[in-house]
């Protein structure tokens, strides 16, 4: 396996079991307009949000796969419930790089190793939608490549392995960034920012997967340590005051909103501290 397999995300947007149906296919999706460049962790978080109306079994991009719904359960992914019961849904990065294609093909091969040959179909085969966009023209390629891999063909390395501790400088604070910060600050490493004020979410647009939101927050041990480093009130809760202190600490625009610019500066500093650069 040449991709990182993330299994801790569990979407509540699913139906237990398969309603007596046998898994008979795989549906390919993409997660939206590629010009918007949505992040992997953002998509995972959205598909795992409580009260959502959609989900998928897997989210995949170059070198990384997240399992959101067990294959034994029904994900809400193709808009046609009997078809949902009989298929596995894969959400794919819309940039459709060669690395993305290789990882998706390897994932398909791994699924087929468990369930036997499952034909591929497109989301648009089940309802009126443009999904899976440009992947619609790659179904035959994915099918052939997956069978090559399943037959013992070599897998390529879709993403250059990064040094231990390095995080992607993508401007989004998800579970991987949290784990790196927990390592630096010597707090338990679980990728979770626990018990945060839901009302503060509007000030944290770059917060993605692994954040716990509540109306009765008690705060996070990691955030307390970071607040002490920033020189602000150490209550464990991220809000506009902490964001301003954070922005001042990292030397970026101070506006109280934790956006991409702020998080990129933090991720760059993380990589320096962990020896990634």
Cα 178 from Cα 184, distance rounded (Å): 10
pLDDT score for 158: 47
Give the total number of structural domains in the chain.
Answer: 2
At residue 1 the predicted structure's pLDDT band, cuts being 50, 70 and 90, is low
The predicted-structure confidence for 100-139, as pLDDT tens digits, reads as follows 999 999 999 999 999 999 999 999 999 899 999 999 999 9
Over the chain, what is the mean pLDDT? 88
Q: Are 126 and 212 within one domain?
A: no
Residue 260 predicted with pLDDT over 90: no
Residue 42: which CATH number?
3.40.80.10
Kindly indicate the confidence band of residue 38, based on its pLDDT and cuts at 50, 70 and 90: low
For residue 163, is it within any domain? Answer: no
Residue 158 lies in a domain: no
pLDDT tens, position by position, 211-236: 888 899 999 999 999 999 999 999 99
Distance CA 250, CA 230 (A): 9
- Domain containing residue 70: 4-150
Residue 70: phi and psi, rounded to 5, are -60, 145
pLDDT > 90: percent of the chain: 62
pTM: 0.59
């Amino acid at each position: 396996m040449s991709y990182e397999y993330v299994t801790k995300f569990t979407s509540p947007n699913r139906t237990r079991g398969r309603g007596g149906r046998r898994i008979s296919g795989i549906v390919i999706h993409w997660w939206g307009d590629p010009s918007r460049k949505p992040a992997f962790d953002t998509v995972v978080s959205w598909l795992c949000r409580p009260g959502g109306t959609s989900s998928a079994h897997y989210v995949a991009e170059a070198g990384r796969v997240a399992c959101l719904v067990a294959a034994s359960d029904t994900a809400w992914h193709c808009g046609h419930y009997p078809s949902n019961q009989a298929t596995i849904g894969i959400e794919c990065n819309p940039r459709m790089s060669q690395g993305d294609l290789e990882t998706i093909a390897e994932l398909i091969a791994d699924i087929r190793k468990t369930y036997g040959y499952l034909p591929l179909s497109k989301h648009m085969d089940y309802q009126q939608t443009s999904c899976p966009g440009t992947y619609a023209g790659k179904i035959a390629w994915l099918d052939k490549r997956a069978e090559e891999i399943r037959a013992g063909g070599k897998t390529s390395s879709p993403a250059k392995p990064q040094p231990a501790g390095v995080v992607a400088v993508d401007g989004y604070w998800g579970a991987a960034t949290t784990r790196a910060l927990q390592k630096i600050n010597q707090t338990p490493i679980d990728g979770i920012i626990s018990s945060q004020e839901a009302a503060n979410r509007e000030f944290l647009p770059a917060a993605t997967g692994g954040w716990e939101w509540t109306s009765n927050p008690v705060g996070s041990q990691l955030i307390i340590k970071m607040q002490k480093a920033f020189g602000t009130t150490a209550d464990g809760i991220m809000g506009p005051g902490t964001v301003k202190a954070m922005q001042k600490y990292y030397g970026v625009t101070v506006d109280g909103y934790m956006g991409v610019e702020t998080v990129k500066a933090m991720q760059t500093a993380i990589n320096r501290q962990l020896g990634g650069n």
